[in-house]
């Protein structure tokens, strides 16, 4: 049966690259599985639109952060599998670090309890 | 330079890439339809739902094609900027003979700003691009830059 997803969070542009790279850290997979992994892992809060996913995958491939090759899927169909390259791995580390700094900064502003309480 | 030619070759294999993109999207459609079927929809309904979720296929293909060209141009520009900066830095180094002073000169000219990390751009959903030399471009921590005089 179809179930309605909980109200979803709009994915900020730029974060999609980070989520794709992080997903591929677990191993090579195809576009559909990447989208489903992000949706499932975020408890259905994030849904990657196909219209954003494939341009992003091809952009990351052009930047040589990921590489693609054709393989047979679990169901025996030919699928384009993406894998993280060494450059992509380095980029992921850099992006994760920036994201932590950014989210920490936003949290400081959104939760100024310590500063206001003192 | 080898990287440049690799990218150029990659860009020129357009017809093969177009066919691959079509096949890739067809695979996505089939996977999505099968998932809908597994969730209880009839075959035709499942296929229709998958097609609807995929959205405007022509637009999607156009957007993906655009990334092939745009990323190439963007990276070429970054590589050129980086190369020019390196030449300028070498010239400064030869002139001043002091690598630290040379770095200081670059900092004054804003070369050590963090490219691509613009919280305002993130908040508005604008493109969040990262310069190829991001590690060179990382800024000093805020607390270090805003220390009282």
Best CA proximity match to A35, nearest among B37, B29, B18: B29
Q: Quote the CA–CA distance of A72 and B132 in Å, as a whole number.
A: 34
Flag whether pLDDT at B29 surpasses 90.
yes
With bands split at pLDDT 50, 70 and 90, how would you rate the model's confidence at B3?
A: low
Q: Quote the CA–CA distance of A69 and A78 in Å, as a whole number.
A: 10
Strands A78-84 and A29-30: antiparallel
Measured between alpha carbons, how far apart are the two ends of chain A, in Å? 53
- DSSP 3-state assignment of A81? strand
With bands split at pLDDT 50, 70 and 90, how would you rate the model's confidence at B113?
A: very low
Flag whether pLDDT at B123 surpasses 50.
no
Does residue B103 or residue A24 have the better pLDDT? A24
Read off the pLDDT of each residue in B20-45 and give the average, rounded to a whole number: 94
Taking chain A (118 residues) in runs of 10, the rounded mean pLDDT of each run is 54 84 97 96 91 93 94 92 97 94 93 65
Among A12, A55, A106, whose Cβ lies nearest the Cβ of B67?
Answer: A55
- CB contact under 8 Å between A80 and B64, yes or no, is no
With bands split at pLDDT 50, 70 and 90, how would you rate the model's confidence at B14?
A: confident
Does residue A6 or residue B54 have the better pLDDT? B54
pLDDT of residue A21: 97
Give every CB contact of residue A14 below 8 A, 6+ residues apart in sequence.
Answer: B121, B122, B127, B128, B129
Q: Enumerate residues 34 to 73 of chain A having a beta carbon within 8 A of any beta carbon in chain B.
A: 36, 49-51, 54-56, 58-59, 62-64, 70, 73
A110 contacts chain B (CB < 8 A):
no
pLDDT of residue A104: 93
Residue B88 C-alpha, separation from nearest chain A C-alpha, in angstroms: 25
A98 contacts chain B (CB < 8 A):
yes
pTM over 0.80: no
Note whether B113 and B132 are within 8 A (CB).
no
Does residue B23 or residue B86 have the better pLDDT? B23
B77 contacts chain A (CB < 8 A):
no
Neighbours of B11 (CB within 10 A): 15
Tell me what the pLDDT averaged over chain B comes to.
Answer: 69
Q: Quote the CA–CA distance of A30 and A73 in Å, as a whole number.
A: 8
B140 contacts chain A (CB < 8 A):
no
Give every CB contact of residue B65 below 8 A, 6+ residues apart in sequence.
Answer: B18, B21
Residue ranges of alpha helices (H) inside chain A are: 15-24, 31-41, 50-62, 86-110, 113-117
pLDDT of residue B118: 42
pLDDT of residue A10: 62
């Amino acid at each position: 049966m179809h179930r309605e997803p909980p109200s979803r969070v709009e994915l900020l542009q730029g974060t999609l690259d980070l989520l794709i790279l992080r997903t591929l850290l677990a191993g090579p997979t195809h576009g559909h599985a990447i989208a489903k992994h992000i949706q499932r892992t975020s408890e259905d809060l994030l849904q990657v639109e196909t219209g954003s996913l494939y341009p992003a995958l091809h952009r990351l491939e052009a930047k040589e952060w990921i590489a693609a090759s054709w393989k047979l899927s679990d169901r025996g169909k030919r699928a384009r599998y993406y894998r993280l390259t060494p450059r992509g791995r380095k980029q992921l580390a850099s992006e994760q670090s920036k994201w932590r700094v950014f989210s920490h900064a936003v949290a400081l502003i959104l939760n100024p309890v310590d500063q206001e309480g003192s | 330079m080898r990287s440049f030619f690799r990218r150029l070759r990659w860009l020129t294999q357009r017809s093969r890439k177009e066919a691959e993109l079509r096949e890739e999207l067809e695979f996505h459609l089939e996977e999505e339809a099968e998932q809908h079927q597994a969730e209880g929809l009839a075959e035709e309904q499942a296929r229709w739902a998958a097609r609807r979720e995929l959205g405007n296929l022509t637009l999607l293909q156009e957007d993906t094609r655009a990334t092939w060209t745009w990323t190439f141009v963007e990276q070429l520009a970054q590589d050129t900027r980086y190369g020019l900066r390196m030449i300028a830095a070498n010239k400064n180094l030869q002139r001043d003979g002091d690598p630290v002073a040379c770095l200081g000169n670059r900092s004054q000219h804003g070369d050590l700003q963090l490219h691509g990390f613009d919280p305002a751009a993130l908040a508005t959903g604008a493109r969040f691009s990262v310069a190829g030399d991001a590690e060179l471009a990382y800024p000093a921590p805020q607390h270090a830059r805003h220390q009282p005089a």
